[in-house]
A and B are shown apart, each in its own frame.
Chain A
Amino acid sequence: MTTFEDPAVPSEPPRVAPWNNPSVRAWVYQVVVMGLVLALAVYLINNTLTNLSERSIRTGFGFLDREAGFRMGESIIPIEPSNSYGRAILAGFLNTLKVAILGIILCTVVGVVIGIARLSRNWLVQKLATVYVETLRNIPILLQLFFWYAIITGTFPNSQEAWKPLPGVFISKSGILHAVPVADPAHLWIGIALLVGIIATVFYGRWVRRQQQETGRRPPLLGPALGLIVGLPFLVFLGFGAPLAWDLPVMGRFRFTGGQEITPEFLALWIGLGLYTAAFVAEVVRGGILAVDWGQTEAAGALGLRRGLVLRLVVLPQALRVIIPPTTNQYLNLTKNSSLAVAVGYPELTSVTDTTLNQTGQAVECIAIMMAIYLAISLSISGGMNLYNRAVQIPDRR
């Protein structure tokens, strides 16, 4: 009788020489790669230290406390040349945030409008939107910044003959000057009233939704919301006796005094970044809307929803899922592209760090600070967007 091997009895694993064992090999490869990377790092650091000591360049972050000595064109926080490098870099970082946030708002508004216009049934509107997208996204952003800067400083009138589109607003080569309300203690309370109004609206909105789900009737939302957000602060404003004094820009002998200034550098950067990124956002929006199956619209119509509700309740929530991840990328690109401000002279992070680098010669530290801050901005924007993305994702599709 022949004996068969019993398949149920586990046979011994095949004997493999260690150099043929995949997991051993994997570790060997990894150790080798890690070793190479470390060797390269040690080599570069060693060279750098040698070079630094040869050129007698200081190391360390002590320079951050030293006096910067350069003047910044504009800043959100008060800054003087006698302030430290650290404060200058902080002011630059805040300027980056300012242009990034305002740019994101501009590119979203323009991008959504152009994206929808690209899908318009109106031939003229659709073609114009196409021309916009194809032109702006195919020209380097740096060139567009130079272009806007040249338009503002080259074709706008001198401050003496500034355009006055509105009372208290002056547009000229040196930017936009506009009136600002004089600070008043009432402003704090108006701000608080606005905040209260917004929070109350959120709660009221939730109540409206619950009512609708329970009773099938939808209480009015828009009127009360407007009343809370606009009316409440306005009542507070009136309650304080309507304190409204304007700090008007006044033309002196050579230049304006008073008012708030928007510099041409900021304006060029903001318009340039906003309009350039809007072309990409428009394509994302168009793609997102096209990605929603036409059947969804038809089904919603068959259920008796009005056109506006079809868009708001059926198409947009589905389109947003497609739109959000690539839009985040565009926001990130805009923030990173704000580093091109160095070319038009807007004092943001890159430009301030570059000046610091040139004055102190401490390239390694300066570039490390710059990269670390950009990395932190990028990671926090993409992190925040990931959270939001998870919130709007269809729950049962995981």
Chain B
Amino acid sequence: MTTLVDPSAPTAAPRDNIGVVEWLRTRLFSSPGNTILTLATLVLLWFVLPPMANWFVLDAVWWAAPPEVCRAAEGACWAMIHEKHRLIIFGRYPYAEHWRPFVAMLVLIGLIGGSTNRRFWRRELAVAWAAGMVVMGVLMWGGVFGLTFVETALWGGLPLTLILTTVGIVVAFPLGIILALGRQSQMPIIRTLSVVYIELIRGVPLVSLLFMASFMFPLFMPSGVQISSLLRAQVAIILFAGAYLAEVVRGGLQAVPRGQVEAARSLGLGYWPTMWKIVLPQAIRMVIPGIVNSFISTFKDTSLVAIVSLTDLMLAARQAVGDPAWRAYGLEGYVFIGLIYLIFCYLMSRYSQRLEVQLYTGRQRL
């Protein structure tokens, strides 16, 4: 008689659940080479981590304290952040009115957060954004409803960074779509103009565009017309982001099968209805992760407006550590705003990765 495997008999647990020892063995010490690698890494960490922990945590001055206390301590001087955090986050915005940029920032973050939820991807979202922009404008500028007027030269810190990014991407998006369509167009002049624009902008650094904005835009205007430095930098960011978004959208346009265009044309749709109703909805859906990545890049790139003296998060931090009493603690300031940038960008990039997986489901590569 043959013996069959008894299905009710317990089988060995999957490897992952075997225990600490097995976990260590498979992941860290599976071969001699691997063991050496692990040990070398541990030695490296032993030299790097304790000094870092000392500086960051153990020897640091954590709470409000005068600079003298920091000078006596060995580690980081977080008291500097405690003293200067309002300046770093809100820049030179009038101190008593800080609640206004704070609320504006919350509105913006709420809108961005809401837009990440795919259930809200409807027409109402655009209305919400428009309303949110109006509310933010009223809060930031003031001058109505008893709010004192605050000129854009005083805007600063994190709200400025967020506004530059969001307005930049929102306005650059239509520009990017038009350029991408232009680049795919059959008309030689329009195609050439689009290609020249896109390659020109992508070939030069953003800093040079910002210099152009701050030195040449005033010359472009008819005499007597002044434009604020905020608007100039914003225009430079829009022109820059537009060229990059155009390439993202082009990727989507190229991924839409030709048959879609042909089918639309044979139904008698003209160019714009074909693009607007058939091609773009599919193309943009495919490149949403790319658009989110552009948003992240733009968010990081806005830090360059510090070079043309706009008090964004970066320059606000530089000004905070420029205070003679706290000058020695620049590193702490950079770590602080570094964490802010890191948290925003990391969350956005995780979202973009998740979206990529979600949107990819069920679609085959053609």
A51 at the interface (CB under 8 A from B): yes
In the complex, what distance in Å separates the CA atom of A213 from the CA atom of B121?
61
Q: Which of B12-20, B34-42, B94-102 sits within the interface?
A: B34-42
Residues of A within 8 A of B328 (CB): 154
Please tell me if B134 contacts chain A, counting CB pairs below 8 Å. no
Question: Is A378 a contact of B215 with CB atoms below 8 Å?
Answer: no
| Nearest chain A CB to B261 CB, angstrom units | 15
What is the interface size of chain A, counting residues whose CB is below 8 A from a CB of the partner? 53
Task: List chain A residues, Cβ under 8 A from B37.
Answer: 120, 122, 125
B38 and A139: CB pair below 8 A?
A: no
Q: Which residues of A contact B303 (CB under 8 A)?
A: 140, 142-143
**In the complex, A196→B314 CA distance in Å?**
51
Q: Indicate which residue in B211, B220, B306, B334 contacts A48 across the interface (CB closer than 8 Å).
A: B220
Least Cβ–Cβ distance between A222 and chain B, in angstroms: 21
User: Which residue of the partner chain A has the closest CB to B344?
Assistant: A138
Which residues of B from 294 to 313 have beta carbons under 8 Å from A?
296, 300-301, 303-304, 306-307
Q: Given A147-B331, A357-B211: A50 and B223 within 8 A (CB)?
A: yes
* Chain A stretch 135-162: residues in CB contact (< 8 A) with chain B: 135, 137-143, 146-147, 150-151, 154-155
- Residue pair A142, B204 in contact (C-beta under 8 Å): no
Q: Which label, helix, strand, loop or mixed, suits the secondary structure of the A interface?
A: helix
Tell me whether B208 is interfacial, beta carbon within 8 Å.
yes
When A26-B187, A147-B331, A363-B216 are in contact, do A139 and B338 touch as well, CB less than 8 Å? yes
Considering the chains assembled together, what is the distance between the CA atoms of A142 and B357 in angstroms?
A: 31
Complex contact B211–A54 (CB within 8 A): no
> A354–B30 Cα gap in the complex (Å)?
56
Q: Which single member of A51, A124, A339 contacts B28 (CB below 8 Å)?
A: A124
Whether the pair A143, B218 counts as a contact (CB closer than 8 A) is no
Pick from A27-35, A293-301, A385-393 the stretch touching chain B: A27-35
**A311 adjacent to chain B (CB < 8 Å):** no
Chain B residues near A375 (CB-CB < 8 A): 200, 203-204
- Bound together, the chains give a CA A80 to CA B258 distance in angstroms of 61
The one of B38, B200, B314, B346 that contacts A138, using a Cβ cutoff of 8 Å: B346
CB within 8 Å of A: which B310-363 residues: 314, 318, 328, 330-331, 334-335, 337-338, 341-342, 345-346, 349
Q: Are B205 and A357 in contact (CB under 8 A)?
A: no
How near does chain B come to A84, taking the closest CB pair, in angstroms? Answer: 22
- Rounded to whole angstroms, the CA-CA distance of A146 and B338 in the bound complex is 11
Secondary structure at the B interface, as helix, strand, loop or mixed, is: helix
User: Given A51-B218, A135-B342, A367-B215, is A342 in contact with B28 using a C-beta cutoff of 8 Å?
Assistant: no
Measured CA separation A125–B37 after assembly (Å) = 8
**Residues of the A chain whose Cβ atoms lie less than 8 Å from the Cβ of B28:** 122-124
Interface centre among A47, A54, A155 (most CB of B within 10 A): A47
B27 within 8 A of A: yes
Provide 25 A-B residue pairs closer than 8 Å at the C-beta atoms, listed in order of the A residue: A26-B186, A29-B187, A33-B189, A33-B193, A122-B28, A124-B27, A125-B38, A137-B345, A139-B341, A142-B307, A143-B303, A143-B338, A146-B318, A146-B330, A147-B331, A147-B335, A147-B338, A150-B334, A155-B331, A336-B206, A337-B205, A350-B211, A367-B212, A374-B203, A379-B203
CB within 8 Å of A: which residues of B? 27-28, 30, 34, 37-38, 41-42, 186-190, 193, 200, 202-208, 211-212, 215-216, 218-223, 296, 300-301, 303-304, 306-307, 314, 318, 328, 330-331, 334-335, 337-338, 341-342, 345-346, 349
- Excluding A37-B193, A146-B334, 17 further A-B contacts by CB distance (< 8 Å) are A30-B190, A33-B189, A44-B220, A121-B27, A124-B28, A125-B37, A138-B296, A138-B342, A139-B345, A146-B314, A336-B205, A342-B307, A343-B307, A350-B208, A364-B216, A367-B212, A371-B204
Chain A contact residues, CB within 8 Å of chain B: 26, 29-30, 33-34, 37, 44, 47-48, 50-52, 54, 120-125, 128, 134-135, 137-143, 146-147, 150-151, 154-155, 336-337, 339-340, 342-343, 350, 354, 357, 363-364, 367, 370-371, 374-375, 378-379
